[in-house]
Every structure is written in structure tokens, then in C-alpha cells.
Structure 1
């Protein structure tokens, strides 16, 4: 579902567990893991809130899921290269241009299904 979706909608959880407004973002999958990036506003907007909360709800056609959010923007070079390639394959080399810059790569987040307490 994620591979077929042009965008993913993300609503970051507030400290009181309510959801912020949904924001559409580009999404890629690499090695069965889901990643998103922003090309601007690292510390503010939905992205800054995601860094603080570490939790969100995402939606693509046919799927809504609660996820944990992990900042992997300073990850190893091989992960960066794989994600840059995934963005280029999915969105085209010209369309993905702003998503494969050093600044955008530094905003890489890994989204993982949230596990219920006790598991």
C-alpha cells in the first residue's frame, strides 16, 4: 500500500494523545521499512512536533496505522544512498530533487508500527 501511494498523510500525536492536523508527505519503503522526509522546517511544523512526540497516525488508501517515529537523519551513508535512490525511483529524478539534498536527508524519519503496551 505504501509503495502504491503517492503520498502518506501524517498526523502527529500531541502530549495529550490528541492528533494534530494531517499533513500530506512523500513516502518511500526500503528493506520493508517506511521512511519520510521533509525538505524544509526541520524544527517546526509537523516535523518538529514528530521529533518531540515520537508518535503519529499515518494514512494511505486502504490503511490507517499508529506509528512510532524515529529520527534517522544522521544514519549511515548506505542508508542515505538507498533512500535517495528510493525517492528517485518513486518520484523521478527531477521530482525527487528537493528530497535528496543534504538538508532533506538530515530530516529522515523511520516509521514503525506502534506496539500495544505489554507486547
Structure 2
């Protein structure tokens, strides 16, 4: 079980964008970053289009904790490694393409590529 309620999964999963702020070593929150979010079953995922070298992604590696806001909800979260295998990566690629197709393949390609796949985070509520 993911820990998300059905209503939370629906609200966040259907949100166009998600605001993510990771925690610094001192416990304070970094400035929020806006990104896309997709749902796979009972889990929510985000990806860094700049891959593991992206600034906000590196920030999530400090404490693996932060705060999100999306779909009218705010939650403290843990940033978990996606443990993505090829099947999950493919499903997430499909979810990004389906949800954000109106932006076109060049824009969606920013989160549907090997680098972004390597910087996939599963959001776990705290």
C-alpha cells in the first residue's frame, strides 16, 4: 500500500503540475520547483528532465524528504528511489505521453528519455 488515499491519488494524479520543495540538511525547505507528475496504480512519480545532474533532483538526495503541493493538496513526502525496471519505466513514459501529449513530442521528450528515467522519484506520503 502506498499510503495515499484514493482522493489524494486522484487529485494529485490529475493535477497539471506539482510544486516540489526538498529539505536541506538543516531541515529548511528549498524553493519549490514546478514539474509534471504522473500516477501508476497507487503510486505517484516525478522525473527530472535534466537527469541525475539536475539541481532539484540533487536536492532531493540530501535528506530524501520534502513537501509537495498539487491538486489543491499539500503533503510532506519522502523521495523514494523508483526501483524502476523496464516495465515501470515504459508505463511511466506512456503515462507522461498520454497526460501531456498536447505539448508535443519535443516537450514531452524532456521527461521521456534515458536521463529522465534515471532521475525518477516515487513520492511517498509522510
Q: Identify the residue that residue 13 of structure 1 maps to in structure 2.
A: 23
Q: Identify the residue that residue 117 of structure 1 maps to in structure 2.
A: none
Aligned residues: 113
CA distance in structure 2 between the partners assigned to 1:41 and 1:85 by the alignment = 18
Q: What RMSD in Å do the two structures reach over aligned CA positions? A: 1.5
Among 82, 95, 108, the alignment partner of 2:91 is 82
Q: Normalising to structure 1: TM-score of the pair?
A: 0.87
Gap regions ≥5 residues in structure 2: 1-10
Structure ranking higher in helix proportion? 2
Q: Identify the residue that residue 5 of structure 2 maps to in structure 1.
A: none
Q: Which moved more, 1:62-71 or 1:44-53?
A: 44-53
Q: Identify the residue that residue 8 of structure 2 maps to in structure 1.
A: none
Q: Identify the residue that residue 37 of structure 1 maps to in structure 2.
A: 47
CA distance in structure 2 between the partners assigned to 1:41 and 1:104 by the alignment = 5
Among 44, 58, 62, the alignment partner of 2:72 is 62
- SS of the residue aligned with 2:99? helix
Deviations 1:90-113 (A, max 9, x none): 001624222111111111000000
Gap regions ≥5 residues in structure 1: 115-119
Q: Which moved more, 1:94-103 or 1:20-29?
A: 94-103
8 A contact 2:14–2:71 mirrored in 1:
no
- After TM superposition, give the deviation of residue 64 of structure 1 in Å: 0.3
Moved over 3 A (4+): none
Q: Identify the residue that residue 119 of structure 2 maps to in structure 1.
A: 107
Q: Normalising to structure 2: TM-score of the pair?
A: 0.83
